Amino acid sequence: MPSGHGGHGGRAERVGLRVRILRAMSRLGIIGVGQMGAQIWRRLDERDRGAIVFDANSGALAALAAEGALTATGPTDLAARCDVILLSLPTSHDVEQVCLGAGGIAPGAAPGTLVVDLTSGVPSSSRRIGAALGDHGVHYLDCGVSGGVAGARAGTLKAMVGAEIADFRAVAPVLELVAAQIWHCGPVGSGHLVKTLLNQSNQAKLMVELEALLVAAKAGLDPQLVGEVLGTRVWNRWLFDSDERAPVGFSLALACKDFDIALRVAAEEQVGVPLAAVAQQVLRLAAGAAGPHADLIDAVAVWERIAGAEITAPHGDTA
């Protein structure tokens, strides 16, 4: 709890925070129950923190309803029934429509409702959405998350939050159910900015690591051994830990979107990021070759064809 600054103002702040914490621990809602959102619901349900759900995709909604989830007819209906709402949507444009569009959250939400945006969003859009929701008395937090579908299911996500400190403290008990590490990064927009920088760093690194493994394979080295030496944790898991290449669960289209946001932020801040720009184009070439619905793992086959080498683990001694 924050220490007040004395007088009636400090007491009012403490009372308001206490009310928001109690609300956050009562009625939860999730809008967007695709791969990430569905696993977050399952994680919460296992912890006896069920949530009302809605998704524009009727199939995704029906799948969770079959598992016992309570469903809403739309964002306005869900907002009227919940005190804290988690958004797991593809883009900031989707978030804006769900929050502020016709049939959105704003008309149904009571003052003091907490909206936690888990989307990998555009920071400037997050600030604009937060201000607009604030005009309706709704508290908005941008919360970038890292760890993927598996992390959501296991409750081991990293969460990077941009919010007023009182709102951050109010939703922390909920976030602790799905995230092992949580940072308050600053005011609204900061969480998505930190997540953007994380994406920029991680995804550029993945492209360089893939190139290194291709050179190793072409040179006749054991790619698995080289991966262990280099510490290529993602590729080690998805290329070498099983006999078949399974989808990572992260589309090339979303990876490209993350790079787009990173370059947009860099341009807004007038910082040159030439390495990130090259990595973005590399990923776009892979996405164009693999198809619009391709998974990150499909980028490997694209670059294997270009390099004329295959990244495979050895199958026992051949001597």
pLDDT tens-digit readout, 73-118 = 999 999 999 999 999 999 999 999 999 999 999 999 999 999 999 9
Confidence of residue 7 (pLDDT cuts 50, 70, 90): very low
Give the separation between CA 116 and CA 178, rounded to whole angstroms.
Answer: 13
157-179 per-position pLDDT tens digit: 999 999 999 999 999 999 999 99
Nearest to 108 by CA among 117, 116, 99: 99
User: If residue 84 lies in a helix (H) or strand (E), which one and from where to where?
Assistant: strand 84-87
**Which one of the listed residues 158, 195, 205, 257 is annotated catalytic?**
195
Residue 158 designated active-site? no
Query: Cα Rg for the chain, rounded, in angstroms?
Result: 22
- What is the per-residue pLDDT across 197-218, written as a single tens digit (0 to 9) for each? 999 999 999 999 999 999 999 9
Stretch(es) of the chain classified as CATH 3.40.50.720 = 7-187
DSSP conformational letter for 67: T
Q: Where in the chain is the domain with CATH 1.10.1040.10?
A: 195-307
Q: What are the pLDDT digits (tens) for 220-279?
A: 999 999 999 999 999 998 999 878 888 888 899 989 999 999 999 999 999 999 999 999
| CATH 1.10.1040.10, applies to 195-307 | yes
Judge residue 292's burial from the number of C-beta atoms within 10 Å of its C-beta, 0-12 exposed, 13-18 middle, 19 or more buried. Answer: exposed
For domain 7-187, the CATH architecture is 3-Layer(aba) Sandwich (3.40)
